[in-house]
Structure formats: structure tokens, C-alpha cells
Chains A and B, each alone.
Chain A
Amino acid sequence: MRTSRALAALVSAAFIFAACATAASPTPEPTVAPTAPPTVAPTAAPTASPVDWQACMVSDTGGIDDHAFNENAWKGLQDAQAKLGIEIKFLESRDESDFEKNINQFLSEGCEMIVTVGFLLGDATKVGAEANPDVRFAIVDFAYDPAIPNVEGLVYATNEAAMLAGYASAAWSKTHVLGTFGGINIGGPVTDFMDGLVAGAHYYDKTTGSKTTVLGWDPVTKTGSFTGDFASIDNGKTLSLGFLDENADVILGVGGQIGQGAFAAIEERGVTGVGLGVDVDWYVSVPQYKSLILTSILKKIDISVTAAVEHAFKGEPALPVYVSTLANGGVDLGPFHDYDSQISAETKAALEDLKAKIISGEVKVSDYFAAP
């Protein structure tokens, strides 16, 4: 088995390169050299010589091409590959009993690092990491307390970016009513967005003396509106229609499908309202609603994954928790795109100022949970 390892690595590298080549350019000049073995496309390889160091990713059940979470993490590995010349591969999980199996598969293949995507993999990652202290792990959206020495927990201060979005929303809103809802109240990964939105609106009220109402979430009592799932556009739409009835004109739905429900509701009512995207820039990923997207709250999973792989590759000890913040660029406010002209220069300046204050620690998101 050992002897065939190099061969296997070569073959898998060829597959990856071939895949990259086709993905990048759908018509890779077929006239050129038809006699050359087509599976090996070394010219397309961005890296010099592959290093015998494998970073392997186990996705959660959403699939590798989910336009969100898993895809973003995989992009992080691809970036790490381009930067470091390592080998990368992934396994998709079909259901939650696959997690441990997939981690074991990678352990048996001798992966130097295993990246698991999502808090759902918390238990399986712990089992794998504790049994294999020599293998480095990183897990997205989760951290262990107490920490496991060979696991880097990647968490995201999305509330910081969401606070900027809340400020911008409050500034844009004509009715001074915002609405927000989540999928399932699973805590941090969902409610941080909602916390930030409320805090941003409160900060706006405090600095400008206006009065903004945020429907659907109370960061103090941690209660609010949830659809009960992440999959139903209709459920998100129903809640959003309720918010529109109460005069909201900016809606933040925290979740991929349910968040689109907010846009569907605004479109159906034909009102002057906008919605906010989460995780990635929805202007790009949900183009059918781009005329209604004020901005997006970016959670750059790829950046943190690349960073974690780099830490491991360079032999640095694992950070117990690696927090993506505004300061390190792991979370951010997305561009305003079509609404850029509707955001005044002084609002933009105030956003820069707020961002600087959050980074310096002068402003804490949690200080603005209660209305001023």
C-alpha cells in the first residue's frame, strides 16, 4: 500500500488539476496537441511541485456545491493549495452518521490535516482528534472548551459585520422599521447576525437621535422570530410579509433559502423595501433579487480555512479558537452595489468610523443590545 501511495497521489493530483482546468476554461483549446494524454494538464497547474502534504475536508450534509458554507470552505482549501502547493481533497457527508466514517477514511489515507465543516461535526471531530493527536484538525463554526491541542476552532464574529449592516439599514430605512428572523434558534451561528443588526440600529439611533424599531429579535432576552427550518422559502416569505405589514422596509433573514423568502415577499408586495444577504455576497450568488439587495454580511469562511491550513502546514501550534473579525478581515460588510448612490457619504464615513471603533474595541456589539 505504501508503495502505491505516491502513484495514488499523482493520480489524484492529475484529477484535481484536470478539474481545475475544465472549471476555469470550459473550452481549453482542443486543437492544441491532441496526442498528449488529456488527463494530465500540467500547464494549468498553478503550483510548482506538489508537496506531499494533504489537507482533507469533510463537508456537512449540505454538499460541496451548496453556494455557501461547504463551497466556501472548499475555496479556502483551494486557495491554500495555490499558495502552498499542497494536495487537497474532500468527502461529502450524506447524513450525520457519515461524519465519523469520512474522518476515518481520511485518517486511513494519511491526511496531515482534516478540516470539518460545521458544528454538526463537533462530536465526530473530537473523537477523531483525540484518537489521532498527530493529525491536525480544524473545524468551522465550532470551538472546544476545554480546547483539544490539535484542533483549531474557527469561529466568526459575524455580529461585528452585522452591526455595520444594521447601521446602514437604519440609515437607509424610510420607515425606521427593520425586520429580522432566523431559521432555527441554534444560537451563535444564527443569532449573532440578528444581535448585530439590532445593535447597529441602536448605535445609529444613539449617534443621530432617531428612533428605529427592529422587529423579530430581542438580543437581551434572546427571543424572536424563527421559521423552524432553513429550507423553506415560503416560511421565510410568510414571516417577511408580516414584517412588511408592520411597515418594515429592510429585512434580514438569516439562512440561505429562508432568507430568499424575504426578497420574495418584498417583490410580491412591490413595496420600496430591501433585504440583506448573509455569509456571501448575495448580489453575486442570488442574482435574481439583486435589485433588492441593500448589502450582504460577509462571513469569509475561506479566509479562515486557508489561515488554519497555513498554521498547520508551517508547524505552528493550533490556536484553540481562531476568531474571524472585522480586524483580520474574516467578516465584513459587503458592497452596496445598486444602492451605493442611496447611501450618503456621511453614512459611509460613519460606517468606516464604526468599523474602526469595533476593531479598536471602543465599541462593543453587546453594549448596544438594549435600546438607547
Chain B
Amino acid sequence: MTDEQHVDPVIEADLPTGAGSAGEPPPPAAAAPPSRLATAVRGLLVPVLAVLSALVIGAIIIVLSDLTFFERLSADPGGALGDALGSVWSAYGALISGALGSPGAYVEAFASGDSDQIISAFNPISETLLAATPLIFTGLAVALGFQCGLFNIGAEGQLYVGAVAATFVGFAVTGLPWFIHLPLAVAAGFAGGAIWGFVPGILKAKTGAHEVIVTIMLNYTAYRFVEFILKLPGYQREGRSDPISKVTEASSWYPPLIEGLRANWGFFLGLAAVFAVSWLLFRSTKGFEFRAVGFNPSAARYAGMSIAGSTILAMMISGGLAGLAGTGIVLGITRSLTSGVSAGLGFDGIAIALMARARPRGIIFAALLFGALRAGATPMQSATGIPIDLVVVVQALVIMFVAAPALVRGIYRIRVPEATGTEVFSKGWGS
């Protein structure tokens, strides 16, 4: 193992203490003048500016989508611009207070001392955490793939198969206490996703079939599988002719963080998954193999690592994580399965992994950002009539700016940091 320790400066950059050498004390930090803090700040600069730029463009879209703006601009430029700023202000105000809560509501709630009111003041944050939960899992699933040189576009399908399995355990198993039933259902979700990830894994390992193609196709297979299974007697709810599953037992649901709010312990399972994946990738031998295979398969094979084994295992874990996202929905939000529980959460996972640059801990922040946007979009639409699609546009712009850091650096005239090397995930596209 020690031979491979300096195989790759990019991989090493993630683990300054030198992972992979289990048991060995970490070598003293080799006097790195650009401190970790400075690196972290520089790393955050592009994402933060990307979000900022996306919000600015979103504001322009808000203004331009007001049909009366141009008419008024010629008649009363000052008033029109004032109103335009006003509508952007109220839209983003509603978006932010819908995602984080409004200071007024917190003050009022705590001043009143009424516990119901305090709980409802925290509802926006609860909604943000709830929306972020499945995104953490799908983001993590895609990021893990990236780290292993695999581009898993199939998180959506894996999510659905995981949801099918978790729902089944949720309603078919009865009479168990929650601390047994919930883990069982969650494990079933992981297993379902892992099975859906195993297929492209083994096809890639044994036949060379490209995982991008296979996972895309398996998404469609998963959609049809869900439609099929939702019409099966025994799975379909009694008395319903539309495709909907039975209701899962309450003992299989993620318990709420606070009674009265929808956010649940699924979020903390997501955080735990982040740290588990982080440990797996950067602190375990297996993870080192994953990344070595991802970075340079030939070198990894030469070093005696099993490419087939790594590929299959990585795809299974990736699929399992996406399956956990499915449990976040059916055991945390909808309580039953229908064919439309996810409108692209698996694909949002790709965006989140890109934004986090495939770093597990970055996933938390990216998922929270997307979750906040989604949570805030509802009150924004209700208060100002601006369509929820604006949030999708903002998300897309964030991705665009993050994926093209040169664009952000150009706009804000940031000097290109010296020798950043290639992004890890970019390896996943062609290998």
C-alpha cells in the first residue's frame, strides 16, 4: 500500500494525513504554507459567488417576467424600477423566510412563550431539512461514483427500487417496535438500491458496458417496475384502482425531530451516511482502492487491486445510498409509494455532487442549499405568485457557475489559484 501513497496529488489533497496506511501514525504535516483554512476559504469562494450570481440572474428573470414592466418603464422609469426591486425584494424575502424562518416570527414566538408557536416558527427550517434529506443521499450516491471514476446517472431508478423495497417492509411487516421495524425498512431500501446498482456494476466489470448508458436505461426499467408493482394485488392499496401502495406502518416511519414538525431523523441518518462515506473513501483501504481505480485503472491493476471488485462494490454502495433517499421519502414524507414520489431527486443528486466537487462533507452544504431553495419556493409562490420554476432556474444557474469555475473567476476577476489540478469527478466521464 505504501507504494501508492503518492500516486496522485489530487487524491492526496483530500487526505493531508495520508490515509490508506492503517495503523501507521500520520506523518507530520509537511509544512504546507497555504493553510487548510486558506484552502477552505478559496474552495468556498467559487460556490458562494456562484450562488450569488445565480440569485442576481434570478432577480433579473423575476423583473423581466413581469409583463407590465416594459410598458411602465417607458412611462415611469423610476417607479417601474422601484416596483421591480420591490418585487425581487418580496420574492427573495419570502424565499429566505420560507427556508430559514423570519426573525419576527422567532421573536414573537419566544416572547409569547407558547410552545406551539415556537414550534411553528421553526417550521421553515424543518421543511428545509426535510427537503435536504433525500438530496444528501442522492448527492452522496453520485459523489461516491465520481470518486471511483463512475458516473452514476441511475440514482433516480435506484431511489425508486429502494423505495419499493422499503415500502414493502413498511407495510408487510407488522407488530414490531419502531427501533426494529424502522432499521429493517431502511436496510431494505438500501438493499433495493444496491441491487439496482449491482447490475450496471457487474455489466461494467465483466463486459465493459458503460455505466452511463446502463444506468440511464435502468432508470426507465425502474419506472416501469414501480408501475407494475403498484398494480400487484398485495402491494396495491385495497379499494383503490390507481397505482398506489398500501400505507406503511407507523413503526417504520422516521420519528420526527420535534413533535409537530415534519423534519425527521432521516436527516441525521443522512449526516451519518456522509461521515460513513467520508471514512470509507478517505480512511479505509477499500476506499483507497476505489479512488485509485477511479484515478488510474491501469495503475491500480498494476498495483494488484481488483478493478472489477471495486467497480461492483462501489456501484452497489452508490445504489444503496440512492435507495436510502427513497426511504427518506416513503418513510419520512409520503408514508406510501406512488409512481411520482420523486421528480428527479436522483438527477438533482448529480448537481449536488458536482457542486460539492464530489466531497462528502460538501454534499451536506449543497443539499441544504437546494433543500432551502425548495422549502422557500412554496411560500414565495404563495406570497408573490412567482412560479416555483424560478427556483429550478436558480438551481440550474448555480450548477452552471459551479461547473464552469472559470466563468465565475472571470466575472469577479479572481486569480486562478496555482496548480489546482483536475477535478476528481471529471475523471468519471470517459473512463
Q: Which residues of A contact B (CB under 8 A)?
A: 1, 8, 11-12, 15-16, 18-19, 22, 26, 30, 34-35, 37-39, 61, 89, 91-92, 94-98, 100-102, 104-106, 108-109, 119-120, 122-124, 145, 184-189, 228
The answer on a CB contact under 8 Å between A96 and B341 is yes
Those 6 A-B pairs whose CB atoms lie nearest each other, nearest first: A187-B241, A95-B343, A34-B75, A186-B242, A96-B340, A97-B333
Contacts A95-B344, A123-B244 known; list 14 others, CB within 8 Å: A15-B384, A30-B75, A34-B76, A38-B68, A94-B388, A95-B340, A100-B334, A108-B123, A120-B338, A120-B340, A123-B335, A185-B241, A187-B241, A188-B241
Q: Write the nearest CB–CB distance from B73 to chain A, whole angstroms.
A: 11
Give Cα A107 to B123, complex, Å: 13
| Contacts A1-B105, A30-B75, A34-B75; A92 near B239 (Cβ below 8 A) | no
B53 at the interface (CB under 8 A from A): no
The answer on a CB contact under 8 Å between A184 and B227 is yes
Output the nearest chain B residue to A60 by Cβ-Cβ distance. B340
A124 contacts across to B, CB distance below 8 A: 334
| Contacts A95-B343, A184-B243; A123 near B336 (Cβ below 8 A) | yes
B29 at the interface (CB under 8 A from A): no
The answer on a CB contact under 8 Å between A8 and B383 is yes
Give Cα A91 to B374, complex, Å: 13
The answer on a CB contact under 8 Å between A35 and B243 is no
Q: Write the nearest CB–CB distance from B56 to chain A, whole angstroms.
A: 23
13 A-B pairs with CB atoms under 8 Å apart are A34-B76, A38-B71, A38-B72, A38-B75, A39-B68, A39-B83, A94-B343, A95-B340, A97-B329, A105-B378, A184-B243, A186-B242, A228-B227
| Contacts A100-B333, A120-B338, A184-B227; A30 near B71 (Cβ below 8 A) | yes
Give Cα A39 to B241, complex, Å: 47
Q: Write the nearest CB–CB distance from A141 to chain B, whole angstroms.
A: 9
B278 at the interface (CB under 8 A from A): no
Give Cα A157 to B97, complex, Å: 44
The answer on a CB contact under 8 Å between B120 and A108 is yes
Q: Write the nearest CB–CB distance from B375 to chain A, whole angstroms.
A: 8
Q: Write the nearest CB–CB distance from B236 to chain A, whole angstroms.
A: 11
B382 at the interface (CB under 8 A from A): yes
Query: B residues 112-157 with Cβ under 8 Å of A?
Result: 120, 123, 127
Give Cα A6 to B68, complex, Å: 25
The answer on a CB contact under 8 Å between B68 and A101 is no
The answer on a CB contact under 8 Å between A98 and B75 is no
Q: Write the nearest CB–CB distance from B221 to chain A, whole angstroms.
A: 13
Output the nearest chain A residue to B108 by Cβ-Cβ distance. A1
A95 contacts across to B, CB distance below 8 A: 340-345
The answer on a CB contact under 8 Å between A109 and B382 is yes
The answer on a CB contact under 8 Å between B342 and A97 is yes
Q: Which residues of B contact A (CB under 8 A)?
A: 67-68, 71-72, 74-76, 79-80, 83, 90, 104-105, 108, 120, 123, 127, 224, 227, 231, 239-244, 247, 262, 329, 333-336, 338, 340-345, 374-375, 378-379, 381-385, 387-388, 392
| Contacts A8-B383, A91-B381; A186 near B338 (Cβ below 8 A) | no
Give Cα A11 to B345, complex, Å: 34
The answer on a CB contact under 8 Å between A37 and B79 is yes
A98 contacts across to B, CB distance below 8 A: 378
A19 contacts across to B, CB distance below 8 A: 385
The answer on a CB contact under 8 Å between B68 and A18 is yes
Give Cα A188 to B242, complex, Å: 9
B344 contacts across to A, CB distance below 8 A: 95
Output the nearest chain A residue to B333 by Cβ-Cβ distance. A97
Q: Write the nearest CB–CB distance from A115 to chain B, whole angstroms.
A: 14
B104 contacts across to A, CB distance below 8 A: 1
A108 contacts across to B, CB distance below 8 A: 120, 123
Q: Write the nearest CB–CB distance from A13 to chain B, whole angstroms.
A: 11
Q: Write the nearest CB–CB distance from B193 to chain A, whole angstroms.
A: 17
Give Cα A120 to B241, complex, Å: 12
Give Cα A15 to B374, complex, Å: 23
- Most B CB contacts (10 A, CB to CB) among A30, A38, A122 go to A38
Give Cα A55 to B392, complex, Å: 27
A109 contacts across to B, CB distance below 8 A: 382
| Contacts A18-B68, A97-B333; A89 near B382 (Cβ below 8 A) | yes
A30 contacts across to B, CB distance below 8 A: 71, 74-75
Q: Write the nearest CB–CB distance from B299 to chain A, whole angstroms.
A: 42
B336 contacts across to A, CB distance below 8 A: 123
Q: B75, B240, B343, B385: which contacts A61 (Cβ < 8 A)?
A: B343
B341 contacts across to A, CB distance below 8 A: 95-97
B244 contacts across to A, CB distance below 8 A: 122-123
Output the nearest chain B residue to A145 by Cβ-Cβ distance. B239
Give Cα A37 to B243, complex, Å: 50
The answer on a CB contact under 8 Å between A101 and B378 is yes
B333 contacts across to A, CB distance below 8 A: 97, 100
Give Cα A185 to B243, complex, Å: 9
Output the nearest chain B residue to A187 by Cβ-Cβ distance. B241
Give Cα A122 to B336, complex, Å: 12
Give Cα A73 to B134, complex, Å: 31
Give Cα A18 to B385, complex, Å: 11
A187 contacts across to B, CB distance below 8 A: 240-242
The answer on a CB contact under 8 Å between B76 and A35 is yes
Q: Write the nearest CB–CB distance from A142 to chain B, whole angstroms.
A: 9
| Contacts A37-B79, A92-B388, A145-B239; A105 near B342 (Cβ below 8 A) | no
